[in-house]
Amino acid sequence: MRKTNTNISPERYEKLKKSIAHIGHPMASYESFRRTGQVEMRLHYVARLIFANCFWSGVSYVLGGVPFILAWYAASFTLWALLRNFGYWGHLKEKKIGVANWEFHTESGARNQAFYAWIASEWHDNHHSYPTSSNLGFLPGQVDFTFQIIRFLKWLGVVESYIDGKEQFMARFGSQAFAVRRTSTKRAESA
């Protein structure tokens, strides 16, 4: 199990908090972070965890009784294990394991990986480039299933608005992205 590095300066901790402020969780004090390794306030985390488990266990029970509750917990554990693994592989700076030429926000070290993107709509390098965008699938082959659900909910009138960063991405990286993709495709075809 990895442990968060708590041996950072207060200034570095403030930068860390600022980098994840878009999530919206109440943040722990520097002293609490040094003690626990958690950026989110512990009480908030525990309350969120209890509420989510009660809510989804209740929904599962209504839909199918105890077998549905057990299936929900099994699925939750499996998904949690996969996503926990993502924290490492999604930011791996030493090795390039994403799809070739799908990363443009290179200073973050984030990777666009199809496996995680398809199960969690997490084109992670795109997320680092446009953290407020509801759509993170910018290039051909980068399908964002969650965004398709959001678009459908907007069509139904449930969602009022969303931010789609694809136009901004294309304006910033489009010609570079497609030039790199064409070169990679030609190299693959000639091999």
In eight-state DSSP terms, residue 135 is B
- Tell whether the model's pLDDT for residue 178 goes beyond 70: no
* pLDDT tens column, 48-71: 989 999 999 999 999 999 999 999
User: Which pLDDT score is estimated for 186?
Assistant: 45
- The pTM (predicted TM-score) of the whole model is 0.52
- Domains of the chain, by residue range, sit at 90-191
Residue in 136, 161, 160 with CA at minimum distance from that of residue 146 = 136
* pLDDT tens column, 67-117: 999 999 998 888 777 766 666 666 665 455 445 566 776 666 677 777 777
Per 3-state DSSP, what percentage of the chain is helix, strand, and coil (rounded to 5)?
Answer: 65, 5, 35
Q: Which residue has the higher pLDDT, 90 or 42?
A: 42
Task: Decide if 129 contacts 165 (C-beta within 8 A).
Answer: yes
Residue at token pair 């969780």: 25
